[in-house]
Every structure is written in structure tokens, then in C-alpha cells.
Chains A and B, each alone.
Chain A
Amino acid sequence: MSTATATTEPLYPALAAPPPPARPRVLLVGTILASAAMVMGYAGIIGAYVSTRATSASPWLPDGVVIPLSAPNMAAVTLLMSVVTLHWAQYSIRNDDRPNAYVALGLTLVLGVAFVNSAVYLFTQMGAAIARTLPEFLLYAVGGFHIATIAVGVVYVALMAFRALGGQYSGRDSEGVAAAAVFWDAAVAVYLVSWLAVYVTK
């Protein structure tokens, strides 16, 4: 049998039913907590890097190891663009603009993969070897952390994109995309800290 899906306005607004209870935002809260844990994990790694650098004899980087600024700059710009596209996707979903949401989610995924490519390329440019000296080892640890977190973010966004394609998210419920955006923003924020503390200040 079929039922009507259109909503009807109440005949007497004063007698309208009370608004439904606020929907629990379980996924969003869980993602905020997981993102906080990720940020603290990053704090542990960058803390080890900075404190070891502060107590080491100068120069910090051994001969033959250089950190070119162009690749980290490009990576930072790529991630900043991905933040814009992901929030564009979130805005579009919230306004039931599905075509724009799909384009924005796809662009975010492409930019995320581009960042991973850029970060791996940076390792080849630096001339560093993970098992040679302590600074090189820590450079790999910090860079590897960002590759891992953005890779997790790409999987998260892809999952939410597939759910959006399946029609799960709409203007009434965009929680999944909002949750992915929270994790993505946190991952980008910690990369920007590394960009400043590791790649710019060296």
C-alpha cells in the first residue's frame, strides 16, 4: 500500500504538536572526542620533536638533509583548499543542494590524495633516511603522522560521500558530513602546526 509523504500544515497552529526532541548527535560527539585524542597524540610526537631539537647540538639537520619549503607550502595550501571544499559540501548538504555536495566531496577526496602524494614526494626531496640520525627519524615520524591522519580522513570523507550518494544525508540530517569535517579540520590544523614548527622554522 502507499502512503502520502507530503507534510500538511496544522489547521490550528496553536494546537500543533510540540517539536520533536533534539536528535542525539552521537556521531558528531564521538568524532569530536576521537579528534581530540588525535590532536593529543600529535602533541606527543611534536613535543618529542621540538624538545629533542631544543636540547640538541646545532646544527639540527645533518649534512645532506634539506627541507625544501615549496612542497610543504603546496601541501598546506592543498589542505586549506580541502577545508573550504569540505565545508562547501557540508553547506550544500544542509541546503539540500546535492549536486554541489557531490562535487565538493569529490574535490575534497582529490585534494586529500594530492596531499598524501605531496607528503611522500617531500620525503624523496629531503634526502633523509629514517634509520640514520635522530633528526631524520623524528622527521619521518612527524611526516608519517600527517600522512596517516589525512589518509584516515580521506577514508572517513569517502564513507560519508558514499552515504550521501545513497541519500542518507539531507538538510534535516547532515551529521555525518559535519562529523567528517570536524576530523578533517583537526587533521589540517595539526599539519599547519608542523608546517610552522618543522618545515618553516626547521
Chain B
Amino acid sequence: MTVIEAPSSAPPEATQDSRREPRGLPAVLGSGDHKTIGRVWIGASALFLVLTVVVGVLLGVERITVDELEVLGNDHVLQFFSLYRVGLTFLVVLPFFLGLATAIVPLQVGASSIAFPRAAEAALWTWLGGAVLLLVSYAIDGGPVAAPNLDPESIALGVVGLGLVVLGLLTAIVCVVTTVIALRPVRMSLLQVPPFAWSMLVAGVIWLLSLPVFMAGLVLAYLDLRYGQLLFAQPGELYQRLAWIFAQPQVYAMAIPVLGVAAEIVPVSAGTVQRRRGALWIGISGFGAFAFGAWAQPFYRSQLLTEAAYVGFAFAIGLALLIVLGGVADSARKDRPALRPAFVLSVLALFVLLAAVGAGAAAVIEPFHLLGTSWEVGHLNLVLTASLVGALAALCWWSPKLWGRHVPAPLAYGAGLLLVGGGVVLAAAEGVAGVLDQPAFSFAGFEPRDGVETFNIVAAAGAVLFALGAVLLVLALLRAMVGNDTAEDAQDPWGGQTLEWSAPSPPPVGNFAEPVAEVTSATPLVTNEEGGA
């Protein structure tokens, strides 16, 4: 073997320059640095959040009168309805958590990079390109909604766009899950990875097993649009075939990371170490397992909604959530937790999620007959609210690590309270309207019981509050992202217990000054006896 040594006369600066961290556009476009990729995911999902909540307000206003469609019109209401759901799920919540995981999880497990960094970069741009195609298709009378008044070519474009979005998400999931499984330091067991990393592992596996089924539906839809329209012959059939992804149990899958965020924040805020970690892990895993919903597609089996397995999943997921809540509460009872925005918001997110699970369980009970009514829409909005509030809590917690700056507390509280208040009012009003026989999919031409319009007005007000909260969330994110100042305590402002808080803020390329060789504790930064470090 021949070793070629660099000439000793070479200036050391040249070597340093070649390893310098890329900045500006080169860093954004193709550095492969997981923090940069994660930041772009988060920023882009925030932009899409603003768009989708505006659509939500328009839908709320459209719902006010049930006799006729005054705002969006009969031609476009189904388009907007699907855009709201598709947008919040595939352009906001999933990409936000994947972006956060792309940036934070490698730090948490002590890795110098994410697994497959170029694939992670490709995932981002595939998702973003697909999102743009999807929105363009909506703008030219398309979107993944087959209807007689829409242009088949534009619908096909929307299906391709959504397919690319899902492909990008799947690629990013493979990168994140592989990082947790294969890039942990020696002797760090899966029981010792931080709660957020564990929740992303569970969420990633569930998404990885369910999104390809959704993708298969999109492929069939595209082929069908190109060749004869045999499979989706009826108007609206295409969307109904894909709608299982927004219904229980699958809808809960987008909220799995919320559990990890809360389990990460609460013990640190209480200044203690999470006890009974195994039970917490079982709770998060159980929640994930019961959120797997690729098997529950009523389009193929309408009797499914009354089957014992479907009803059982709706209740079992509540038990799993209670285990998580118990574990988190147990860690907070030792001492009075510090009431920081991240702590308050993460606890609020858990309780909203609990309300959502309760609403979901109520919907499947036979005497109520709430499936197919706007109760289902309210249920989805509750899950989305919990996910967004959890995302805001995560943003408050990790923004010093990602950008070196804190999210201003007044903005965080304002955004969180508006999101929770608006989301709960919106969901409750839609739920009551569902009890009064308002259907989920139809916006006009049905006969509900008296009083529906009053609740629809309340729901519209809730949608406005929710939208204001979302705008404040984006402002909070901008405050964290933009600026030249760096918080003095940015490296570890909370007394963190996990590895990411040992890295500089923001971390350089390679993350740590020296490779993390061996970790034998779940809380390696805790030096007292309880932490076991």
C-alpha cells in the first residue's frame, strides 16, 4: 500500500478552507448537512401552513349556509376540501416533524451525520418539487379529486405531485429511521435513545408501512386517468378512495412524534430523569401500532366500520395514550416543573390529543352513527391541532439548537393558545353539527336538523382563530430563524439530558468536536446518581 503525503510546504489555511462549512445558497441546495436540510423542511412547511389555514377559513365560511355555496361554488368546494386535508397532512405536519427529526435525531444519537445524507437532500427537493406541482394542479382545476367539472390532465398532474410528495417523505423516513437504528454509538441500546428519537422511529415505521399503500392508490389513480378511467368512474370517487389516510386509525400516525416531544420536554423541565422508561416506550409503540390504518379502507369494505377490530383499535389507542400520559406525569410529579412555553404547549398538545382520541372512540360506537358526518372532520381537526401545538412546543425547545436563538415566549404562548382555542372551538362546533346530521363531504344539498348553521358560524370563528394562531406560529419561527444575534445560553438553555445539548449551537458540520464513541446511559449529560452517567 502506498501512502501519499501532502507536501509540508502547503499552507494550513488551504486545508481549512476546503473543509469550511458551505454557506448561503450552496449550503441550502446541496451541502448534505442534515441541519440545513431540516431547517429547509421546517421553513417550507411553515409557508404551506399559512396557505392551508387560509383555505380552512374559506371552507369554514362556506359551511355557514347549508342551502347554497356562495364563496367557493359547487365547482371548487371539493377541491378546497381536499387541499385543506392534503395540505395540512402532507405539506405541513409530516414534513415539519421529518424536518425536525432530520436536524435533531442525528445529534440525539451522537452521529456526525444523518444516514444517506444525499438521499436526505434528494428527499427534500423531491417533496418540495412535488408540493409545487400539487399546488399548480389545484390552481389549474386539478388536484387529486376526480370531478366532472375538473380537467383530467390537471388531476393527473395533481396525482403525480402528491406521489412525488409521498416519495420524498418516504425517502426522508428511511434516512431518519436508519439513523436511529444503525448510527447509534456503541452500547447505546434502543431503550436509551432519547424519547423524540424513539417516537420518530415508531412514527417512521408506521408511516413507512402505510404511506406506500397510499402511494399504490395514487399509482392506480394515475394509470386510471391515463387509460380509460375504469377504476374511478364516479365523481369524487378518487378522493374517497384515498381518504382513509385522513380518517382513524391512520390519522393518529401524524401525531406520534407529539408523544416523543412531550416525553422529551417534561422531565427536563421538572429537573428529573424519566422513570419507568420501558413502560413509556411501550405506550409510544402501542400508540403507533394502533395508528396503523392501511388495512382500514372503507372504500373496499364498507362493513369494516362496524367490525370489532376497527372499534377495538379506536379504544386501544386511548389506552396506549394513557400509558404515555401516566409516564410523563410521573416524571413531573417530583418537583414543580419550570413553566416554560415548550412545557406548557407540549402538555396542552397531549391533552388535545387525548380529546381527539376520545372523540374518535365516540364516533365508532354503534348507537351514535357519527362516521361520515362532520364529527369526523372535527376529529381530524383535533388531531391536526394537537400535532401543530406539539410542533410549536418542539420548535420552542430546539430552536436554540437549530438557529442559536430562542422563540419569544409571548409569541409562543399567543400562537399556542390561539391554535388550541381555535382548534377546539372549530372541532367542537363541527362535532355538534355532525350530531345534527351534517355530512362530512357534502357542503350543500342535504337536510340537517335545525341549528346546524349556528354551529357552523361558531366553527368558522374557530377556523379564523386557528388561522391566526398558525400565522403567529410562522412569525415565531421567523423570529428564531432570522437575525445575527446568538443567545448566550444557546448550547444548553434547559439543562438538557441528551447528547444534542453537548454540541455547539448551531452545531458545525460533523456536529461534535470529537466523535461520540460510547454511550452507556439514557441521560448521558446528567451527572447525578439518578441519571446514571
Q: How far is the CB of B426 from chain A (nearest CB, A)?
A: 32
Residues 220 to 242 of chain B near chain A (Cβ within 8 Å): 220, 223-224, 227-228, 230-231
Residues 171 to 197 of chain B near chain A (Cβ within 8 Å): 173-175, 177-178, 181-183, 186
- A51 contact set on B, CB distance < 8 A: 300-301
Interface size class of A (residues with CB under 8 A): 20 to 34
- B230 contact set on A, CB distance < 8 A: 131, 133-134, 137
Given known contacts A33-B208, A37-B208, A44 and B231 CB-to-CB distance under 8 angstroms: no
The reply to whether A137 and B177 form a contact with Cβ atoms under 8 Å apart is no
The reply to whether B294 and A33 form a contact with Cβ atoms under 8 Å apart is no
Residues 38 to 69 of chain A near chain B (Cβ within 8 Å): 38, 40-45, 47-48, 51
Name B1's contact: one of A2, A29, A41, A132 (CB within 8 Å): A2
Bound CA–CA A137/B222 (angstroms): 12
Name A40's contact: one of B116, B178, B294 (CB within 8 Å): B294
Q: How far is the CB of A159 from chain B (nearest CB, A)?
A: 14
A163 is an interface residue with CB less than 8 A from chain B? no
The reply to whether A44 and B215 form a contact with Cβ atoms under 8 Å apart is yes
A71 is an interface residue with CB less than 8 A from chain B? no
The reply to whether B210 and A40 form a contact with Cβ atoms under 8 Å apart is yes
B72 is an interface residue with CB less than 8 A from chain A? no
The reply to whether B294 and A36 form a contact with Cβ atoms under 8 Å apart is no
- B310 contact set on A, CB distance < 8 A: none
Name B212's contact: one of A3, A24, A41, A133 (CB within 8 Å): A41
Bound CA–CA A36/B216 (angstroms): 14
A81 is an interface residue with CB less than 8 A from chain B? no
The reply to whether A45 and B3 form a contact with Cβ atoms under 8 Å apart is no
Q: How far is the CB of B164 from chain A (nearest CB, A)?
A: 15
B217 is an interface residue with CB less than 8 A from chain A? yes
- Number of B positions contacting A (CB below 8 A): 38
B527 is an interface residue with CB less than 8 A from chain A? no
- B116 contact set on A, CB distance < 8 A: 26, 30
Residues 135 to 150 of chain A near chain B (Cβ within 8 Å): 137-138, 140-141
Bound CA–CA A1/B212 (angstroms): 53
A8 is an interface residue with CB less than 8 A from chain B? no
Q: Which of A26, A30, A140 has the most CB of B within 10 A?
A: A30
Given known contacts A2-B1, A26-B182, A44 and B115 CB-to-CB distance under 8 angstroms: no
Bound CA–CA A93/B284 (angstroms): 41
A167 is an interface residue with CB less than 8 A from chain B? no
A193 is an interface residue with CB less than 8 A from chain B? no
In the complex formed, the residue of B with least CB distance to A48 is: B220
Given known contacts A44-B212, A48-B300, A132-B228, A137 and B174 CB-to-CB distance under 8 angstroms: no
Bound CA–CA A126/B42 (angstroms): 50
The reply to whether A21 and B301 form a contact with Cβ atoms under 8 Å apart is no
8 further A-B contacts with Cβ under 8 Å, apart from A130-B227, A131-B228, are A2-B1, A30-B116, A40-B212, A44-B217, A44-B294, A47-B213, A51-B301, A132-B228
3 interchain residue pairs of minimum CB distance: A44-B216, A41-B212, A131-B228
A-B contact pairs, 26 of them (CB 8 A): A2-B3, A21-B186, A26-B116, A26-B182, A29-B181, A30-B115, A30-B174, A30-B182, A33-B173, A33-B177, A33-B208, A34-B174, A36-B208, A36-B209, A38-B212, A40-B209, A40-B213, A42-B216, A44-B212, A44-B216, A45-B216, A131-B227, A133-B230, A138-B231, A141-B220, A141-B223
Q: Which residues of B contact A (CB under 8 A)?
A: 1-3, 5, 115-116, 170, 173-175, 177-178, 181-183, 186, 208-217, 219-220, 223-224, 227-228, 230-231, 294, 300-301, 517
